[in-house]
Amino acid sequence: MDMTDQLVRSADDGDAVSVARLLKHVAAVDAVGTGGRTALDTAAERGHADVVRLLLGAGADPQQRAGEHQESTPLCLAASRGHRAVVEVLLDAGAHTGAQGRMNWVPLVLAATAGDEGFPETVDLLLDRGADVNAVMKRKTALDWATGFGHVRMVRHLLSRGATASNRGTDPRV
């Protein structure tokens, strides 16, 4: 296994000691492993904030394409899994909160709709750091999406944070 693959595997495992050791020997921190993923990509998806911090400190691009098909970004992956600490580290490194990645995912929408009821703490962090509560993804806001998924608590949460219904035929009053 080459050094890049070792770095990606260690990041995926959350092994910060190994990642720190390997970063001294890997030429490009954003190198893609044989599985098509980078170390930052996998660490963000798995929720390893300490590893994400190490990779960013070594120069990893917080806006890089990520995901199995390079359709996303590290921020979107972390937001969609409710990894609040990783989202915070990425935002601190300059990741923006608007539509991103090849699919134009909106991190706020992903955080509001993933899982059983979304991830309110991640939603709050994104909003507190400048995300637009009424940002649109595929012609719907986070409120529209949460309503459509029947995430009653998230709908109430978004309304309490100033979300307004779009004119797409959804009724957020729950």
Phi, psi of 100 (to 5 degrees): -155, 165
CATH domain 1-96 topology: 1.25.40
Res. 26 pLDDT band, cuts 50 70 90: confident
- Identify the helix (H) or strand (E) that includes residue 153: helix 152-160
Q: What is the pLDDT of residue 167?
A: 66
Q: What pLDDT, in 10s, does the model give residues 115-163?
A: 999 999 999 999 999 999 999 999 999 999 999 999 999 999 999 999 9
Residue 171: pLDDT above 60? no
Res. 107 pLDDT band, cuts 50 70 90: very high
Q: What is the pLDDT of residue 168?
A: 58
First to last CA, the chain: 53
> Is-contact 78 90, C-beta < 8 A?
yes
Q: What pLDDT, in 10s, does the model give residues 53-69?
A: 999 999 999 999 998 88
Q: What is the value of pTM for the model shown?
A: 0.92
Closest-CA residue to 40 (of 21, 17, 18, 67): 67
**1-96 and 106-174 in the same fold:** yes
Q: What is the pLDDT of residue 165?
A: 79
The dihedral through the CA atoms of 58, 129, 112, 109 has a sign that is negative
Q: Is 100 helix (H, G, I), strand (E, B) or coil?
A: strand
> Is-contact 44 90, C-beta < 8 A?
yes
> Is-contact 30 2, C-beta < 8 A?
no
Q: What pLDDT, in 10s, does the model give residues 80-96?
A: 999 999 999 999 999 99
Beta bridge partners of 136: 141
For residue 93 the two structure tokens come to 């490194």
Domain boundaries of the chain, sorted by first residue: 1-96, 106-174
> Is-contact 142 168, C-beta < 8 A?
no
Q: The domain 106-174: what is its CATH number?
A: 1.25.40.20
